[in-house]
Amino acid sequence: MTRLGILLSGRGSNFEAIADNVAAGSIDAQIAVVIGNRAEARGLEAARQRGLNAVSIPSKGLDREIYDRMLVEELHRNAVDLVCLAGFMRLLSASFIREFPNRILNIHPSLLPAFPGLDAQHQALAHGVKITGCTVHFVDEDLDAGPILIQAAVPVLNDDTVEALSERILREEHRIYSEAIRLALAGAYRVEGRRIIFC
């Protein structure tokens, strides 16, 4: 069975949505390890409460190459096949990405390529777009840039705040991340340049 490795930095609500679907059998995989780069990450506590293998590897003050090597070792130790970034607030080095070619997923709270980077929901409101959303993509060496697996659109309402919009996007994130994992596990696609073509 495919072994998932989840990397997170904070709240972990995307992780919890994935874990619910794994527990319910609607994702045909197991969560081999949940790694947090901040010891106080709520997602790590949630993983422990679920009886999952939760590992804290603090990143503070560590050189990126050294830190990423620690991550790769922990992922390999747990025989991870597919890495899911779920609110993991760090850039990954090229050497990390080469370890898992087209086997790292990320979720971003905008319709990429619009609004990459931090505070995507704030960026969308400030720009005045009428529709934003979320994207699950494979991770390559550029920020929020790899081939897109799935997106969901979310309307921006007149009286939206960053909090209200983020909450509405988050509901879609929880839905499409699991869907993207199912698609990645099924493997019924080919990658043509930037495009993922489903068979």
Say whether residue 37 binds ligand GRF (CB under 6 A).
Answer: no
Residue type, 60: K
Residues with a catalytic annotation lie at 108
The residue behind tokens 């003050």 is: 61
Full DSSP string of 77-143: HTT-SEEEESS--SPPPHHHHHHSTT-EEEEESSSTTSS-SS-HHHHHHHHT-SEEEEEEEE--SST
* Calpha distance 30→127 (Å, rounded): 40
Instruction: Pick the piece of the chain touching ligand GRF (CB under 6 A) from 51-59, 68-76, 93-101, 102-110.
Output: 102-110
By CB under 6 A, residue 14 contacts ligand GRF: yes
Quote the least distance from Cβ 84 to ligand GRF, whole Å.
Answer: 10
In the region spanning residues 113 to 152, those forming contacts with ligand GRF, defined by CB under 6 A, are none
108 is an interface residue for ligand GRF by CB under 6 A: yes
Q: Are 79 and 32 in contact (CB under 8 A)?
A: yes
Is the CB of 170 or the CB of 184 nearer to ligand GRF?
A: 170
The least CB distance from residue 18 to ligand GRF, in Å, is: 9
Residue 173 engages ligand GRF in binding (rule: CB under 6 A): yes
The least distance separating ligand GRF from the CB of residue 10, rounded to whole angstroms, comes to: 5
Alpha-carbon dihedral of residues 140, 143, 144, 147, nearest 10 degrees? -30
Site string for ligand GRF, 48-87 (x = CB under 6 A): --------------------------------------xx
Phi, psi of 40 (to 5 degrees): -85, 5
Binding site for ligand GRF (CB under 6 A): 8, 10-14, 43, 86-87, 107-109, 170, 173
